[in-house]
């Protein structure tokens, strides 16, 4: 029964889409793409296809599919920038009128573009003279404050007031019942028609048990050639002296034992001093920002890294004697994460690549940065499900001999078993299609 129903759903869309393209005399390439999209919806395969900047080829079949609310679970479109998200939303609005479909489209933007009530209030305490921030403070209870509407705010100020998911925990924030961002974000998991950024797509796919977006019937990744960079970025992290010190200080404050953290803070200071001296004396010719990828740095400071690791581990053990509060649990988790990273740096079979970022004029002049080595298999695991079709598209995917090989390998799609990868070539670029 259900097979018959699904076939009839797609058959209907093929007819409707073909007829729409005929009536409106749209480009042949877009019609071919539109029919390929319906194939992917039906077969739940991975479709890799180069297209021009026009999005009609995938929007039209998605909108026809959206008419059948029973069979079609929705779409998730991921793209590179807020500008492109807004453009897609405008195109959907325009096509929806032509196709006579009425769907609530959610544009999910990244948190860094919005002001955090809690951080704004904290920053304003020492910057009361700033008129724009005072203006924002009056509005923030009523609407989300978007960076694009306040171009006069410098990046330096912005990084102090925007939403910083890594630094603040929304779940335990006192403002969460009135925070427009938090309330908006809570609506995402139930939204059926979503345009998100690549960063949010990756973040959602990584949270396998608790994704930010529900499974669609079809995922479209537009501007797909930069997705690998976004996946890679999502696994990167950094540790600065101030981050470690502030975790120790906050924990000491919470447990009411200032002395417990004092020795550790000295070890942290001494480690970063040594790291700075080594980098300046051996790896820098000028007093400029620099990135140093060097195993030699780690080997030279191996004993110091181990000392820091052991001290942090012992500190964590001592915390077992204190009663856990929400804040303490959160800080202990962070501390565990950074302690593990330090161990991974000097241990055998490290999962990460490390580099040292030196910025002489910044508050955190040295950061230990890390990223994952196995990014291809991590990326493959994000897309290795056969619950829905996935379309990867861009205007610049075919690099050598008209083949998508480099793109497919960059995301580890070739490592996914049991899911067919269909490569479609734009008109005039069909050399490899039948090989």
Q: Which residues bind ligand SF4 (CB under 6 A)?
A: 116-118, 163, 168, 170, 173, 175-176, 179, 181-182
Of 127 and 373, CB closest to ligand SF4: 127
Nearer to ligand SF4, 60 or 196 (CB): 196
Q: How many other C-beta atoms are found inside a 10 Å radius of the C-beta of residue 244?
A: 25
Bridge-based pairing of strands 237-240 and 193-197 is unpaired
- Residue placing its CB nearer to ligand SF4 in the complex, 127 or 291: 127
What is the H or E stretch that residue 123 is in?
helix 117-125
- Taking the complex as a whole, the smallest distance from the CB of residue 47 to ligand SF4 amounts, in Å, to 36
CA separation, residue 137 to residues 125, 132, 151, 183, 271 (Å):
12, 9, 16, 18, 40
Which residue number, 62 or 144, has a Cβ lying nearer to ligand SF4? 144
Q: In what order do the strands lie in the sheet with 218-221?
A: 105-108, 193-197, 75-79, 218-221, 389-394, 46-50, 421-424
Query: Helical H runs in 301-404?
Result: 302-318, 326-346, 375-383
User: Cβ(305)–Cβ(342) under 8 Å?
Assistant: yes
Residue 185: CB minimum distance to ligand SF4, A: 8
Q: Which is nearer to ligand SF4, 246 or 385 (CB)?
A: 246
CB 238 within 8 A of CB 421: no
User: Is the Cβ of residue 123 or residue 355 nearer to ligand SF4 in the bound state?
Assistant: 123
* CA–CA distance, 308 with 241 (Å, rounded to integer): 12
Q: How far is the CB of 117 from ligand SF4 (least distance, A)?
A: 4
Residue 173, Cβ density class (10 Å: 0-12 exposed, 13-18 middle, ≥19 buried): middle
The whole-angstrom distance between residue 400's C-alpha and the CA centroid of its chain comes to 29
| Separation of alpha carbons 191 and 75, rounded Å | 9
Minimum distance from residue 109 beta carbon to ligand SF4 (Å): 13
Q: Which is nearer to ligand SF4, 116 or 203 (CB)?
A: 116
The distance of closest approach from Cβ of residue 122 to ligand SF4 in the complex, given in angstroms and rounded to an integer, is: 10
Give CB contacts under 8 A, 24+ apart, made by 132-140. Answer: 133/157, 133/161, 140/115, 140/180
CB of 6 to ligand SF4, least distance (A): 41
Task: Work out how close the CB of 120 gets to ligand SF4 at its nearest, in angstroms, rounded to a whole number.
Answer: 8
Q: Is the separation of the CB atoms in 397 and 225 below 8 Å?
A: yes
Nearest to 269 by CA among 286, 248, 285: 248
Min dist. Cβ of residue 173 to ligand SF4 (A): 3
Q: Whose Cβ is closer to ligand SF4: residue 109's or residue 118's?
A: 118
Using CA atoms, how far apart are residues 386 and 388, in angstroms rounded to an integer? 6
Instruction: Decide whether 210 or 285 has the Cβ nearer to ligand SF4.
Output: 210
* Contact call for residues 68 and 103 (beta carbons, < 8 A): no
Residue 39's SS3 state is helix
CB of 178 to ligand SF4, least distance (A): 8
Q: Cβ of residue 326: shortest distance to ligand SF4, in angstroms?
A: 13
Question: Judging by DSSP bridges, how do beta strands 46-50 and 389-394 pair with one another?
Answer: parallel
The minimum distance between CB 118 and ligand SF4, in angstroms, equals 4
38/179 with CB nearer ligand SF4 = 179
Closer CB to ligand SF4, 87 or 119, in the complex: 119
């Amino acid at each position: 029964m259900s097979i018959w129903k699904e076939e009839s759903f797609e058959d209907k869309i093929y007819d409707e889409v073909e007829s729409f393209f005929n009536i409106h005399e749209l480009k042949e390439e877009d019609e071919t793409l539109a029919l390929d999209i319906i194939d992917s919806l039906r077969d739940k395969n991975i479709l890799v296809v180069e297209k021009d900047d026009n999005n009609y080829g995938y929007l039209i079949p998605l909108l026809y599919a959206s008419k059948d609310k029973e069979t079609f679970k929705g779409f998730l479109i991921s793209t590179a920038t807020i500008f492109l998200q807004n453009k897609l939303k405008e195109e959907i609005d325009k096509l929806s009128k032509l196709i006579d479909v009425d769907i609530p489209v959610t544009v999910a933007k990244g948190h860094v573009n919005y002001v955090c009530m809690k951080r704004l209030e904290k920053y304003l305490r020492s910057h009361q003279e700033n008129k724009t921030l005072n203006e924002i403070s009056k509005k923030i209870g009523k609407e989300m404050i978007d960076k694009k509407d306040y171009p006069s705010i410098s990046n330096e100020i912005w990084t102090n007031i925007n939403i910083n998911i890594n630094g603040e925990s929304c779940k335990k924030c006192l403002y969460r019942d009135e925070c427009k961002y938090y309330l908006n974000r809570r609506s995402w998991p139930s939204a059926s028609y979503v345009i998100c950024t690549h960063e949010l797509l990756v973040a959602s796919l990584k949270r396998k048990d608790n994704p930010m977006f529900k499974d669609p019937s079809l995922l479209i990744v537009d501007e797909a050639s930069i997705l690998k960079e976004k996946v890679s970025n999502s696994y990167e992290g950094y540790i600065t002296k101030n981050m470690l010190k502030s975790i120790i200080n906050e924990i000491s404050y919470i447990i009411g034992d200032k002395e417990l953290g004092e020795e550790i803070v000295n070890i942290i200071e001494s480690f970063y001093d040594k790291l700075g001296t080594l980098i300046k004396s051996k790896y820098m010719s000028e007093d400029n920002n620099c990135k140093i990828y060097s195993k030699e740095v780690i080997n030279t400071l191996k004993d110091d890294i181990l000392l820091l690791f052991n001290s942090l581990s012992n500190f964590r053990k001592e915390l077992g004697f204190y009663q856990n509060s929400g804040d303490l649990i959160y800080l202990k988790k962070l501390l565990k994460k950074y302690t593990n990273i330090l161990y991974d740096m000097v241990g055998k079979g490290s999962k990460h690549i490390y580099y040292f970022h030196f910025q002489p004029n910044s508050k955190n002049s040295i950061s230990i940065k890390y990223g994952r080595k196995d990014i291809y298999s991590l990326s493959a695991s994000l897309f290795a499900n056969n619950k829905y079709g996935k379309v990867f598209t861009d205007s610049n995917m075919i690099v050598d001999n008209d083949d998508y090989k480099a793109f497919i390998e960059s995301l580890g799609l070739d490592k996914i078993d049991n899911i067919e990868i269909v490569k479609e070539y734009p008109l005039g670029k069909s050399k490899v299609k039948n090989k």
